Structure 1
Amino acid sequence: MTREIAIEARGLTKVFGGRGSVFGRQTGGARAVDGVDLIVRSGETLGLVGESGCGKSTTGRLLLRLIEPTAGSVAFNGRDLTELTKAELRRSRGKMQIIFQDPYGSLNPRMTVGDAISEAYVIHRIGDRASRAKSVLEMLDLVGLPRSAASLYPHEFSGGQRQRVGIARALALRPSFVVCDEAVSALDVSVQAQIINLLQDLQRELNLTYLFISHNLSVVRHISDRVAVMYLGRIVEVAEADHLFADPAHPYTQALLSAIPPSHPDEPRHRHELVGDLPSAHDIPVGCRFAPRCPFVQDRCRATDPQLSPLPDGRFVACHRAADGSLPTYRLNS
């Protein structure tokens, strides 16, 4: 059964530092997100991966309208967030939340854990002091922290415990959609596993929808139902997680997955090394933006920008050669 669409972005664009517009298109500046089309289905985890600086975190914030888009639209449960007034957007905040990367920097060091979690109830005028205190204790139970944590300050916790506080704060209003922005990247490997398991348990219990942003491909493979690959402000491939990791279609996806360390030192490894650096978002190449680094580039790639299009196997890929079946195949070692 096809799941309902929770979040749908169309032509989502964010330009930082532009100098005005020409024919409706902002000129100059850095095109951090450039015409992104993305769908997140209700109850799923969509992984979003790509190199640092490709626009992943900006995309997550645009979906929540934490920053204003330069162009495009974002629909949450069928309602366009870009058209909401500030008052309407504020009322919608309870259903859309974010878990930040830094579990210490995202918490106010002058506020107790109980105050940090109950702040959401205060802002949205939910309950009285007694009911808020009770809700805080319930949230601490939910994320596996002792109730005594409510009276403590962030510096009195470990990194993993602080991230649990961040999760409790994000879920205090019982949202349906949560952006996990590098939510485990600042944690030790063993603690990462605990937080990932917690997020999965909470998803099942509360019927949550996640956008999981990460550069850790192994974690993304474990937690995601589908994966979107981002390069220089654009989505270049979207596929079911198992399908994408077993048989990547876009040359950039192939290069990313080939960089995953093997599970055993004796396991053969076939690297797809890229030449050159990620181009600047201030000076995006003409045609396919991956063409300057692509080992399979053709003349048409330098002239025409490929659009994200469906393939017969159900995935979406922005690549001329993948679309017509002329791209050399690549299989990830199992």
Structure 2
Amino acid sequence: MTEILIEARRLVKHFEPRGLFLKKKSEAAVRAVDGVDLAIAAKETVGLVGESGCGKSTVGRLFLRLLEPTSGQILHKGRDLVSLTPKELEERRRDLQIVFQDPFGSLNPRMSVGAIIGEPFAIHRLAKGAERERRVARLLDLVGLPRAAADRYPHQFSGGQRQRIGIARALALEPQFLVCDEAVSALDVSVQAQVINLLQDLQRELGLTYLFISHNLSVVRHISDRVAVMYLGRIVELADADILFKAPAHPYTRALLSAIPPGHPRAKRDREKLKGDVPSPLAIPQGCRFAPRCRFAVERCRSEDPALSIIADGRSVACHLVADGSLSVPPRLSPHSGAAA
């Protein structure tokens, strides 16, 4: 049986409004994450995708307790991170790290690269002096940067090199779990490929586990073992990457994948256009939250909230019509009809 490294159970994060002119303290809470269940096995990469504002980055930060959940559990090796004391959480943070989206904004421009990468050793009182320098040099080797980079500053590097510095810093404490929050979206396409290959090499060498958050579906397909699709604060489909990209089940997943440019210049694909805009997380629709934009929606969809349930091929889908068989999973797409890895 595969060991579960980290798991979210009924994870909820609501942001209460703040301001001098609010009528009620409790009115119009933003339901950013609204009941997420997601288990990630050791050495697995789970991709997390969805439109902007769906709650992807909030989930990543909740997994690391960079944000405090409104309710729910985050289990790391069976221990609930929400119940930990500050001292216990500090010790756990060695195993849980993040690679941020902006490779420049996430690095202190006044610190040398050596000081940036070596800072975790100082915070956790693990190494100092020559030993810290030796560990920094090893981390620079690991991410493909020259050791001389330790004496330079972030502005002296390209975007791809700065992201390698961010990865080196995240690996300093030898973590098991990394949240990669749009880690390649700010990079040129050719540099994206280099960073993705680096992440995969590091995973094989160090036995890392990734939650890979991205809006780039082609990149997600290439790197992920499984993919979770989020819509308005909830996961609506979870499946093996190959299954999900070749035969998406949920209507929202189908619409997302139909927007990917075809992988072959002569290939044609029917675009499934969504009607309307994403509802506001301040006012979640009754029933299925995707129903106002779904062309398959029936009356039950507008009144009853579907649970994330396992269907015949082993994937999990939150859709009444898919669960009862009235909306069939489409035939697998041909190799040239869509998202190429």
Query: TM-score normalised to the size of structure 2?
Result: 0.94
Give 5+ residue unaligned stretches, structure 2.
19-25, 336-341
Structure 1 residues 100-111: aligned runs within 5 Å: 100-111=100-111
Give 5+ residue unaligned stretches, structure 1.
20-25
Aligned-pair CA distance for 1:130: 1.0
Corresponding residue number in structure 1 for 2:56:
56
Aligned-pair CA distance for 1:127: 1.9
Deviations 1:195-253 (A, max 9, x none): 00000000000000000000000000000000000000000000000000011110000
Query: Stretches of 4+ moved more than 4 A in 1?
Result: none
* Pair 1:323 & 2:323 matched: yes
Aligned-pair CA distance for 1:28: 2.9
Alpha-carbon separation, structure 1, partners of 2:61 and 2:124:
21
Corresponding residue number in structure 2 for 1:332:
333
Corresponding residue number in structure 2 for 1:8:
7
Deviations 1:113-148 (A, max 9, x none): 000010000000002211001000000000000000
Corresponding residue number in structure 2 for 1:147:
147
Identity %: 68
Alpha-carbon separation, structure 1, partners of 2:250 and 2:240:
14
What amino acid is aligned across from residue 150 of structure 1 in structure 2? Answer: A
Alpha-carbon separation, structure 1, partners of 2:333 and 2:259:
11
Aligned-pair CA distance for 1:312: 1.7
Deviations 1:149-204 (A, max 9, x none): 00000000000000000000000000000000000000000000000000000000
Aligned-pair CA distance for 1:263: 1.4
Alpha-carbon separation, structure 1, partners of 2:128 and 2:146:
23
Query: TM-score normalised to the size of structure 1?
Result: 0.96
Aligned-pair CA distance for 1:101: 0.2
Moved more, 264-273 or 71-80: 264-273
Corresponding residue number in structure 2 for 1:262:
262
Corresponding residue number in structure 2 for 1:23:
none
Alpha-carbon separation, structure 1, partners of 2:32 and 2:318:
18
CA RMSD after TM alignment: 1.1
Alpha-carbon separation, structure 2, partners of 1:322 and 1:88:
43
Deviations 1:28-78 (A, max 9, x none): 310000010111111000000000000000000000000100011100111
* Pair 1:47 & 2:47 matched: yes
Corresponding residue number in structure 1 for 2:339:
none
Alpha-carbon separation, structure 2, partners of 1:42 and 1:98:
16
Contact 1:258/1:332, CA 8 A, preserved across alignment? no
Alpha-carbon separation, structure 1, partners of 2:12 and 2:27:
12
Aligned-pair CA distance for 1:332: 3.1
Aligned-pair CA distance for 1:282: 0.2
Q: How many residues align?
A: 327
Alpha-carbon separation, structure 2, partners of 1:297 and 1:210:
34
Alpha-carbon separation, structure 2, partners of 1:263 and 1:92:
42
SS across alignment from 1:48: strand
Alpha-carbon separation, structure 2, partners of 1:119 and 1:215:
31
What amino acid is aligned across from residue 100 of structure 1 in structure 2? Answer: F
SS across alignment from 1:256: helix
Shift of the 249–284 alpha-carbon distance from structure 1 to 2, 3 Å rule, reads: same
What amino acid is aligned across from residue 105 of structure 1 in structure 2? Answer: G
Corresponding residue number in structure 1 for 2:249:
249
Aligned-pair CA distance for 1:17: 1.7
Alpha-carbon separation, structure 2, partners of 1:311 and 1:328:
11
Alpha-carbon separation, structure 2, partners of 1:48 and 1:198:
19
Alpha-carbon separation, structure 2, partners of 1:18 and 1:287:
24
